[in-house]
Amino acid sequence: MEEYVLEKGSSSLEELCRHFNVSMNTVRRDIADLVQRGHLKKVYGGVSAGIRPAAPLAIPISERYMRNDQAKQSIGQLAASLVHDDMSIFLDSGSTTMRILPYLSEKHNVTVITHSLMALYEAAKYPSLNVIALGGMYNWVTSSFVGATTLDELSKMAINLVFLASTGVTLERGLTNTTYFEVEVKQTVARQNKNLVLMADHTKFGHNALLTFCNFEDLYAVVTDQPLPESYLRVISHRGIKLLTPESGPEK
Task: Read off the pLDDT of residues 7-57 as tens digits, 9 standing for 90 and up.
Answer: 666 788 888 888 888 898 888 888 888 777 666 778 767 877 654 444 444
Q: How far apart are CA 90 and CA 123, in angstroms?
A: 12
* Domain segments of the chain as ranges: 2-48, 61-244
pTM: 0.75
CATH of domain 61-244: 3.40.50.1360
Residue 203 neighbours by CB under 8 Å, 6+ apart: 68
Digit-coded pLDDT (tens) for 78-108: 999 999 999 999 999 988 999 999 999 999 9
61 vs 4 pLDDT, higher one: 4
Beta strands in the chain (DSSP E): 10-12, 41-43, 46-48, 88-91, 111-114, 130-133, 137-139, 144-146, 161-164, 168-170, 174-177, 196-199, 211-214, 221-223, 242-244
Give the residue from 75, 117, 125 showing the smallest Cα distance to 93.
117
Residue 118 neighbours by CB under 8 Å, 6+ apart: 61, 65, 93, 98, 143
Contact, 195 vs 164, CB < 8 A?
no
As beta bridge partners, residue 91 has: 114, 163
